[in-house]
Amino acid sequence: MSVLVQSEHGCVLDSRSLIDQGFTRCLRWKDGQRSHVQCRFKGQWFQMCRSHEAPAVDGGQVEVLQKANKPAKIRSIVSEGTKSLLDSSRSLGFQNGATDTVKEPLPVQECRLAALCEMAKELPLVDEEEQEHVQALVTDGGCTSHVDLFSRVTENRADGATVVTLMGEEYVIPPHASFLLSDFTRIQPLVHYGRKFDLIVMDPPWENKSVKRSRRYSSLPSSQLKRLPIPLLASTNCLVVTWVTNRPSHLRFVREELYPHWGLEVMAQWLWVKVTTSGQFVFPLDSPHKKPYEVLILGRYRPSAGHSPSSSETSEVPVEDSRLIVSVPSALHSQKPSLSEVLKRYVGADASCLELFARSLQPGWTSWGNEVLKFQHTSYFTLTPADDRADIPKDEDKPTVTL
């Protein structure tokens, strides 16, 4: 199971297993021919074996950060909750320091998707009334050469994953996944897609000094996030989850400006706690600079402030506050764990789900972003030939504990 442990404190996730869901059996299309392969995300990306030392900061900065982050309360929640969850996880054989035995070097795939989005903006806009806003990933003949990734939502309508060549590169597309490769200026096809979503997860590229210095990826001013058409995409009572940095200004903005602007009621604040393969925090818990956790703000979409609760609203599952999600983080920059299994009980198993600013795809989800296919590139996976009748490993073989 991908969710190893659940309790009143939160849960422990096997992030790699979450990625692999839906990819075990893939149909690979190449040069018009198809073959079956087994596909697994490379486990070496999750080999965080030891914690890091936090960078030194001056005394004045320490005091400011400590006051802003209210460390005493958060420290207690993280320390006690994580210990309880990891104790249960270790009883199942996890967080025991074991690592993948494969030592092959991991390729660093240069992502050109954002640059391609910029180039696509030079193309003339098609009249919205004449534009087809949806297209199939693969034609009946296995062709993908005419897929318009930048101005149409692309759907993998197959029951299994599909490995296809897009823009000269091979990508692994999960079953029933839909995606749009674009930025803010070309988000309209997603609005015209015709779906209302019950769950929206977003990981905005928050502005900060280190991002500006490194120039690893483009950032977005907080005020620009208000332009996201959440009210046009969200169903009534849609659960919206936003990844937020630990900066107090960003947390206040989401709670006090962004969510009210969209008509969202703040429900809870959760923490993603990052640990090593042996269960140690990736950074010291008392570090005044780098924290071993990140924040998620959860809210419900309420179309109007004075509306009467509907039957679905009154029966919705309450979202608990201060829950922890504990997992070994990926070594890949900005790759977050999938929340599909964690949030299922709050939105239902058949919920329509959307991820914004996505860098990967999930089975059955719709995803949007200017790097939406980044972590679907085959260089991040191990592909091995598979016979049509080959036995597929069962996720059920792993034990799980609910406390």
User: Following DSSP, what letter does each residue of 116-152 receive, concatenated?
Assistant: HHHHHTTSPPPPTTT---EEESS-TT---TT--TTTS
Statement: residue 274 has pLDDT above 80: yes
Nearest alpha-carbon partner for 14 in 264, 329, 228: 329
Long-range contacts of 79-84 (CB under 8 A, 24+ apart): 79/285, 80/9, 81/9, 81/10, 81/273, 81/324, 82/9, 82/273, 82/275, 82/281, 82/324, 82/326, 84/7, 84/9
Q: Which residue segments constitute the domains of the chain, with CATH numbers given? A: 3-52+64-99+130-402 (3.40.50.150)
Whether the full predicted model's pTM is greater than 0.75, yes or no, is yes
Average pLDDT over residues 110-130: 75
Least confident of 22-36, 60-74, 284-298, 372-386: 60-74
State the number of CA atoms in the 13 A half-sphere of 401 facing the CB.
18
Decide which of 222 and 176 is more confident. Answer: 176
Q: pLDDT tens, 142-157?
A: 667 678 899 999 999 9
Statement: residue 308 has pLDDT above 60: no
Q: pLDDT tens, 86-107?
A: 999 888 877 777 666 666 666 6
Percent with pLDDT over 90 in the chain: 53
Q: Residues 242, 94, 274, CA angle at the centre, nearest 5°?
A: 30
State the number of CA atoms in the 13 A half-sphere of 380 facing the CB.
26
Statement: residue 393 has pLDDT above 50: no
Residue in this structure with the two tokens 């692999």, named with its chain if needed: 20
Strand 153-155 and strand 134-136: pairing?
parallel
**For 334, phi and psi rounded to 5 degrees?**
70, 10
Residue 351 Cα distances to 39, 189, 200, 263, angstroms: 26, 21, 10, 20
Residue 387: the pLDDT is 74
Decide which of 363 and 290 is more confident. Answer: 363
Residue 269: the pLDDT is 97
Least confident of 1-10, 18-27, 240-249, 392-401: 392-401
Residue 179: the pLDDT is 97
Residue 391: the pLDDT is 45
Q: pLDDT tens, 317-327?
A: 999 999 999 99
pLDDT tier, 310 (very low <50, low <70, confident <90, very high otherwise): low
